[in-house]
Structure formats: structure tokens, C-alpha cells
Amino acid sequence: MNAGLLGVGKYVPSHILTNQDLENRMDTSDEWIRTMTGIEERRIADEETDTSHMAHDAAVEAIKDAGIKPEEIGLIIVATVTPDRPFPSVSSMLQYQLGAVNAAAMDVSAACAGFMYGIVTAKQFVESGTYDYVLVVGVEKLSKITDWEDRNTAVLFGDGAGATVVGKVSEGRGILSFELGADGSGGKHLYQDDKLKMNGREVFKFAVRQMGQTALNVIEKAGLAKEDVDYLIPHQANIRIMEASRERLGLPVEKMSKTIHKYGNTSSASIPISLVDDLADGKIKDDDIVVFVGFGGGLVWGGLCMRWGK
Ligand code: COA
């Protein structure tokens, strides 16, 4: 028996910040941002909307989609590097707001790979028989740690939340394999020191190398070949990094998720937000082989291969 995804949900703020808006605020251009990153616009949360609010709205949708009650959840995992405050954890706030009275709660800090770490952790608890349902949320309010004076990073990020309920699925479906990894020696290339700091070149090189390799590793661990893959959902950090992974798997353009133009890089929320949009657009069908792969500050990475469906 494998664990799989029983329901999904997302929340994105209504306020849209376009590349043109950024042109008016700093020395950049719509053309540079599009060509270098693939981003056209991103969502920015207002003052009153903090990380826990976005997490809550995405979670409510995922719980409804899974057809379960909050009191059936055994564990809530929130992947975020932008919690409302260091503690209490966003997951504890969520536990109370949702009325998930039987749930334990913990936050996971693995930057843009946080959702992958969350799902893989949830899988262990479900497959060991410890919990029937684990709620996993990837959520970030990156706008509050963005240095709006630094054009190298300010154009890249957006706010949002994506959620899923992990539970048992039917024989043959669900998460077939995964890989998690870390290389702390690269921590200096992407970190928060009051505001977010990044060495874009170094992160780019690491991401191109690691994303493709992790995708290939999880396919092999699942006993499958590249040709078996129906759909790839890469972390939405930069269209050129995403394209490099897609090409390494030999997939056509339409078999890779692309939401970066609408939302920018929403860190741990990017994979689940993309999943929600792709399901709504009918891009993923039951029994499709789907590969998720993410990377981020740490440096860390994570991927998994699953056969879609309950
Ligand atoms: N608008 C216009 N020009 C910009 C700019 C912006 N927003 N940001 C940088 N530039 C300029 C630089 O000043 C530089 O100009 P110069 O040649 O006159 O010195 C030029 O563009 C190239 O800058 P560089 O930083 O070397 O570009 P790059 O090819 O590394 O691309 C990124 C920059 C950020 C798009 C790319 O490095 C990247 O995507 N890295 C990975 C980032 C990432 O994914 N982070 C999140 C990880 S989860």
C-alpha cells in the first residue's frame, strides 16, 4: 500500500504585481524579466494577510476536496520559511483554526524544496499506519523578506499557498519513489539575513544540475524509464531551469507544468499551486506517471515519482 494525494487546494492573493509595475519601481524591464526568468506577473499579499491566513484557505479547499473532516487529520505539516513569527508554528495556528483537534503539528524548513520534504514525511506516517490523513501545506509570504531595492531578486518572487491531504490510495497508485538531499556547503548562495540574499549564477548552476538528476533518480527508483513519464511538475523558479529538466527527461513542452508566468517563484507553494491548476486544466489523469522535483536554499532538493489517482 502506498500513500498518495487525496485532495488539493490553493490560495493566491488577488493583488497582481506585473513586470510593468516593477519597471516603474526599479531599473528593470519587462523584456529582461520575461527572457531571463519566464515571469510575467506575481501575486502579493496585503498587510493583513499573513502566511497562516493563506495556509488556512488552501487547507480548507484541500480538506474539502479529499472529502474528510478536520478532526480526522492526524498530523499537519506546514512547509514555510516565512512563518507569521518564529513560534508558535504556522501548523499549530492552522490546527486551531481548522478545528483539527486530533492533529499534531509541525513546520518544516526546507525553503523551495519544503513541500517535497513535507510530502515525503507525510508518506512515512501514512505507510507505517500511524496516521490515516496528513495535511501538508506549502506556503510563503516572500514579499515580507524581499529586498525591494535589489533588482536581482525582487523581480523573482511571489506569495501564495498550496495544500494537499496525504492518505492511503488503491494498490499500484500513489508515491512510488522519492529522493531528498542536502548540500549545506552551498548555503552561502541563498539565505535570509533580514532580507533575502542570493548568488543567482551559483543557484542557477546547482538547480540545472540537481533538478534533472533527481528527476532521473526517482524514475529509476520507481523501476520506470523516462519514456514512462506522463507529466513533470518542477519547482517554478526560472523557466530556463525548468526547461533544462524537461529536456533531460526528453519530454515535450505540453508535458511540463508551467505556472511561473502567473505567480513567479512562490517557493514551497509553487509545486502544489501548479498541481491545482494542472488538475483544473485536465492535464493530469488517473494512472498517469507524474514526477515532482524541487530545490532551494540550504541547498536542498527533493523529488518523487507517483502514479496519480486515489
Ligand atoms: N532587470 C534588469 N537587469 C538585471 C536584473 C533585472 N531585474 N537583474 C540583473 N540584471 C542584470 C545584471 O545587473 C547584469 O548586468 P551586467 O551584465 O551589466 O552586469 C545582467 O543582468 C546579468 O546578471 P546576472 O545576475 O549575471 O544574470 P543571470 O544570467 O545569472 O540571470 C537570474 C539572473 C536571477 C535570472 C538567474 O541567475 C537565476 O534565475 N538564478 C536562479 C535563481 C533562483 O532560481 N532562485 C530561487 C531558488 S529556489
Question: Are 15 and 89 found together in one domain?
Answer: yes
Question: Are 106 and 212 found together in one domain?
Answer: no
pLDDT band at 1 (very low <50, low <70, confident <90, very high): confident
Given 137, 168, 199, which residue is the final one in a domain?
A: 168
- Name the residue with the closest Cα to ligand 1, atom 43: 237
Distance 61 CA to ligand 1 centre (A): 36
Question: Are 265 and 293 found together in one domain?
Answer: yes
Q: Note the pLDDT tens digit of each residue in 83-106.
A: 999 999 999 999 999 999 999 999
pLDDT value, residue 241: 97
pLDDT band at 259 (very low <50, low <70, confident <90, very high): very high
Given 122, 151, 168, which residue is the final one in a domain?
A: 168
Question: Are 108 and 179 found together in one domain?
Answer: no
pLDDT value, residue 265: 98
Pocket test for ligand 1, best of 19, 36, 241 (most atoms within 8 A of CB): 36
What rounded mean pLDDT belongs to the chain?
A: 97
Question: Are 54 and 202 found together in one domain?
Answer: no
Ligand 1 neighbour 253 (Cβ under 6 A): no
Distance 67 CA to ligand 1 centre (A): 44
- Name the residue with the closest Cα to ligand 1, atom 36: 200
Whole-number Å distance between alpha carbons of 174 and 157: 31
Domain count, the chain: 2
Q: Looking at residues 235-260, what average pLDDT do you find? A: 97
Question: Are 180 and 299 found together in one domain?
Answer: yes
Could you tell me what percent of the chain has a pLDDT over 70? 100
Question: Are 203 and 92 found together in one domain?
Answer: no
Pocket test for ligand 1, best of 34, 204, 260 (most atoms within 8 A of CB): 204
Question: Are 130 and 48 found together in one domain?
Answer: yes
Distance 199 CA to ligand 1 centre (A): 9
Kindly compute the dihedral angle of the four CA atoms of residues 40, 201, 113, 106, in this order, to the nearest 10 degrees.
-100
Q: 75: domain range? A: 3-168
pLDDT value, residue 185: 97
Where residue 77 sits, what CATH number does that domain have?
3.40.47.10
Whole-number Å distance between alpha carbons of 304 and 205: 21
Question: Are 149 and 181 found together in one domain?
Answer: no
Ligand 1 neighbour 81 (Cβ under 6 A): no
Q: Looking at residues 229-254, what average pLDDT do you find? A: 97
Q: Looking at residues 180-195, what average pLDDT do you find? A: 97
Q: How far is CA 260 from CA 37, 246, 298, in A?
A: 8, 15, 22
Q: Note the pLDDT tens digit of each residue in 37-62.
A: 999 999 999 999 999 999 999 999 99
Question: Are 136 and 210 found together in one domain?
Answer: no
Could you tell me what percent of the chain has a pLDDT over 90? 100
Question: Are 140 and 27 found together in one domain?
Answer: yes
Ligand 1 neighbour 203 (Cβ under 6 A): yes
Q: Looking at residues 183-199, what average pLDDT do you find? A: 96
Ligand 1 neighbour 265 (Cβ under 6 A): yes
Q: Note the pLDDT tens digit of each residue in 113-129.
A: 999 999 999 999 999 99
Ligand 1 neighbour 171 (Cβ under 6 A): no
C-alpha neighbours within 13 Å on the C-beta side of residue 201: 0
Question: Are 90 and 15 found together in one domain?
Answer: yes
Ligand 1 neighbour 237 (Cβ under 6 A): yes
- Name the residue with the closest Cα to ligand 1, atom 3: 28
Cite the active site residues.
112, 235, 265
Distance 156 CA to ligand 1 centre (A): 10
pLDDT band at 174 (very low <50, low <70, confident <90, very high): very high
Given 126, 142, 168, which residue is the final one in a domain?
A: 168
